[in-house]
Amino acid sequence: MTDFEPRSMVGLLPIHSHLIQAGDLQAVVGDGVRNGVGGTQYCGLWSLTSRHRVFNAFGNSFAGLLPGELRGRRTFLEELDATSAVLTREPDRQRQSRTRALYRVEAPFTIHHELTLCDEADLRAPGCSFREVSWCNYMNSPDDPRLHFLADGQWLRYIPPSHGIHSNVAPASVPNDELEKWPNTGEGRPFHWHRAPFRFDEPFYYGRIGDMVLLLVFDQPQWLRFFSSPSGGGGAIQSERTCPAWDFEWVIPEGEYMPGRDFTFRVRMIYKRFHSDDDILLEVQKAQQILHG
């Protein structure tokens, strides 16, 4: 049995969700069978709760850490143990790419996620010299919809003014002339193909959910982009709120991308009680030591 042979492919009955838990956290990893608001496309974290907040951090009909490579496609779920699960997808006529997405809970309040893909054909979008690998986090009606991150040495608290306007935030370390150039595709242009007028300093951002913080810390900052929408997750239970999308992607540049090569992207998601921005920076430092250790 290889990394890409989940148990449903070796004679056992398929499974569609698996509870993983450790420390303060419980999470449910699910494949794409759940028929949410937008149909059967919401694989990833179906649920994330903490002993400090028992409500799902993600929209109840959506998902978090949802890989675009698996979205709306046939996926297989494999239980690894009580703390870990894997979603996999084999190449097919629809999309010639092999993908493996690991989710692992680590006490007291972290989910380690990594995705490895290998394209068997050139899967760059038409007109693009780069390859995009994206994720969605559809949040559950937070009272504060903004992303919080460092920009030009200061804390910036930001949500785009509307869906598709100034949604994409690039790293400050990448010069303008080295950023990806988006083709003119007219009305079919993806909503995240609109650059914000500022950059992030460090590869992390956080959002607030009640008295909790959801912090994401990433590797490979040169390839990383944040993008968000105030309404990407649709309406909220409370009429005065929405469900924002706190999304991200890696952009593999032309000089690095090639079919037949493995690419692995890693993120650590910390879900804990919020204390202060200084505490956030300490958590970022610890997560970066693990990512780069």
Q: Could you tell me the pLDDT band of residue 6, with boundaries at 50, 70 and 90?
A: very low
Average pLDDT over residues 65-90: 96
**Between β-strands 147-151 and 154-158, what pairing exists: parallel, antiparallel or unpaired?**
antiparallel
Q: Could you tell me the pLDDT band of residue 35, with boundaries at 50, 70 and 90?
A: confident
Domain that holds residue 52: 7-291
Per-residue tokens: 99? 């993908």
Is residue 270 in some structural domain? yes
* CATH code of the domain containing 117: 2.70.98
Q: What pLDDT digit, counting tens, does each position of 181-194 carry? A: 999 877 778 999 99
Q: Output the pLDDT for position 238.
A: 67
Whether the pLDDT of residue 8 is over 60: the answer is no
Is residue 245 in some structural domain? yes
Count of C-beta atoms within a 10 Å radius of residue 57: 24
Cβ–Cβ < 8 Å for 19, 49: no
Is residue 1 in some structural domain? no
6/196 Cα distance (integer angstroms): 40
How many domains does one find in the chain? 1
Report the amino acid identity of residue 102: L
Whether the pLDDT of residue 9 is over 80: the answer is no
Q: What is the DSSP string of 223-271?
A: GEEEEEESSTT-B-SSTT-B--EEEEEEEE-TTT--TT-EEEEEEEEEE
Structure letter (DSSP) for residue 125: P
Is residue 2 in some structural domain? no
Q: What pLDDT digit, counting tens, does each position of 200-239 carry? A: 999 999 999 999 999 999 999 999 999 999 988 776 666 6
